[in-house]
Amino acid sequence: MQRSRTELEAMTHAELVDRVLEMQDMLREGLAVRDSLHAVLNQVLAANEDQVVHYADLDDTGLDPEEHDRKRAWAAARHAVANPLGAMRKRAAERGE
């Protein structure tokens, strides 16, 4: 839960320590989820290596919409594995955040 600066300043030392420990647990869980998803995505890419390479080598011109979507999806998956933070920033930028 997000709190305002005023609410945080009103908290006791013990409450702040509890809040920091709670946030550390949340961060640890989030990192574990990210690591699990990263491992699964690596397995998916490895299992579909022939398609990944095929679509990576295709030129964008002349692709039908379905092929273009597949090319974009495989490229996004490769980017997410190679640079998870960069992929997150790119998705946020595409959504206008």
Q: What is the pLDDT of residues 17-72, one digit of tens each?
A: 999 999 999 999 999 999 999 999 999 999 999 999 999 888 888 889 999 999 99
The label of the residue with tokens 């022939």 reads 50
Helices 13-47 and 65-82, interaxial angle, to 10°? Answer: 130
DSSP letter at 49?
Answer: H
Whole-model pTM: value is: 0.68
**Residue 46 pLDDT:** 94
CA dist., res. 81 & res. 32, Å (int): 15
Residue 1 has pLDDT above 80, yes or no: no
Dihedral of CA 90/54/42/44: which sign? Answer: positive
- Structure tokens belonging to residue 83: 């640079």
Return the pLDDT at 87: 84
